[in-house]
């Protein structure tokens, strides 16, 4: 069985042990693969694994030996799953490798906005004081979360992690999701998206990027929100129209945003969010805890093993 890994998740040397994959066939690893080199690198391989590399219909058509695709991640929008299905090629993803850490990162972004830890750390290191007798100072309002309303768009695994943390802070949690979870009923109120926008002091996006959700946070959606709302997005950058959010931040309609992802990554120099006020960025690292990356690798390899054994798992297309 010939296996090609088009790109592996970022790791420091020796962090991740891929030997379990080596035991399943003849494996060729690439750190990164540009789109134009995908067909050549796949060649006559039967199985391909990829993280951020793109596998479009033209590349699939040029790889007649291809039988299985394992995405080393949850999002699979980089793969033309319909073209794969037309060829009878199952595509599997890893749906649940970083649930707790990604929810944790959403809260970390929120706490940076409410408490500005990084800024005040930098000021303390400058030996700044507010006066001779009082060494306390703050340059931003300190915001207490208790009693405020958190709206979660997408109450799946990650959304429930964020909801539990918010509930522990004393926040009221409202959520919009097509599937209602009975285990969350004691402290989550399900509402429509329009009501969530209208009532929330903080909005967290935890939904996938599909055609129907792309650009869902635009000027029209923002207009429905409370003045001074806080937006957190560590799901998919394409959920938000960057220019509309930048305009809302400049006007104060959105008081702050915590973003682990933007529409085009890496962020481009002309992205208007770079010059917008009160934006807190991280470089798409919600998933990057070592524990998560180990699970991600192991589960992607498990997908390959399941396919070889004749029982594909975590399949996201119909073949």
Beta-bridge mates of residue 5: 29, 49
Q: Is 236 a catalytic residue?
A: yes
Distance, first Cα to last Cα, the chain: 21
Given the residues 105, 206, 236, 295, the one annotated as active site: 236
In this structure, the number of other CB atoms found within 10 A of the CB of residue 82 comes to 13
How would you class 231 by CB atoms within 10 Å of its CB: exposed for 0-12, middle for 13-18, buried for 19 or more? buried
Distance CA 72, CA 194 (A): 34
Q: Is 284 a catalytic residue?
A: yes
Given the residues 172, 284, 293, 295, the one annotated as active site: 284
How would you class 26 by CB atoms within 10 Å of its CB: exposed for 0-12, middle for 13-18, buried for 19 or more? exposed
Given the residues 15, 40, 144, 265, the one annotated as active site: 265
User: Which residue blocks in the chain are alpha helix, DSSP H?
Assistant: 19-22, 38-42, 57-61, 81-86, 99-115, 117-125, 157-168, 193-199, 219-223, 242-251, 290-308
Supply the residues annotated as catalytic: 236, 265, 284
């Amino acid at each position: 069985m010939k296996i090609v890994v088009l790109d592996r998740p970022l790791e420091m040397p020796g962090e991740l042990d891929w030997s379990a994959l080596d035991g399943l066939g003849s494996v060729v690893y690439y750190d990164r693969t540009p789109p134009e080199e995908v067909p050549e690198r796949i060649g006559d391989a039967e199985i391909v694994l990829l993280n951020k590399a793109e596998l479009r219909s033209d590349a699939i058509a040029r790889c007649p030996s291809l039988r299985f695709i394992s995405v080393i991640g949850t999002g699979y929008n980089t793969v033309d799953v319909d073209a794969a299905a037309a060829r009878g090629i199952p595509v599997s993803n890893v749906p649940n490798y970083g649930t707790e850490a990604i929810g944790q990162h959403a809260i970390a972004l929120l706490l940076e906005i409410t408490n500005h830890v990084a800024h005040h750390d930098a000021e303390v290191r400058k030996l700044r004081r507010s006066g001779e007798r009082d060494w306390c100072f703050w340059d931003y309002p300190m915001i207490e979360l208790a009693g405020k309303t958190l709206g979660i768009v997408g109450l799946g695994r990650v959304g429930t992690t964020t909801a539990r943390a918010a509930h522990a802070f004393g926040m009221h949690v409202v959520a919009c999701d097509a599937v209602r979870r009975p285990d969350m009923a004691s402290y989550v109120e399900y509402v429509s998206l329009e009501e969530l926008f209208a009532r929330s002091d903080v909005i967290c996006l935890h939904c996938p990027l599909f055609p129907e959700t792309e650009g869902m946070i635009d000027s029209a959606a923002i207009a429905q929100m409370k003045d001074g709302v806080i937006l957190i997005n560590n799901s998919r950058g394409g959920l938000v129209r960057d220019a509309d959010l930048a305009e809302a931040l400049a006007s104060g309609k959105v008081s702050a945003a915590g973003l682990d992802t933007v529409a085009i990554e890496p962020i481009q120099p002309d992205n208007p969010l770079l010059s917008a006020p009160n934006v807190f960025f991280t470089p798409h690292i919600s998933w990057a805890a070592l524990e998560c990356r180990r699970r991600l690798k192991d589960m992607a390899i498990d997908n390959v093993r399941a396919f070889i054994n004749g029982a594909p798992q975590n399949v996201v297309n119909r073949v």
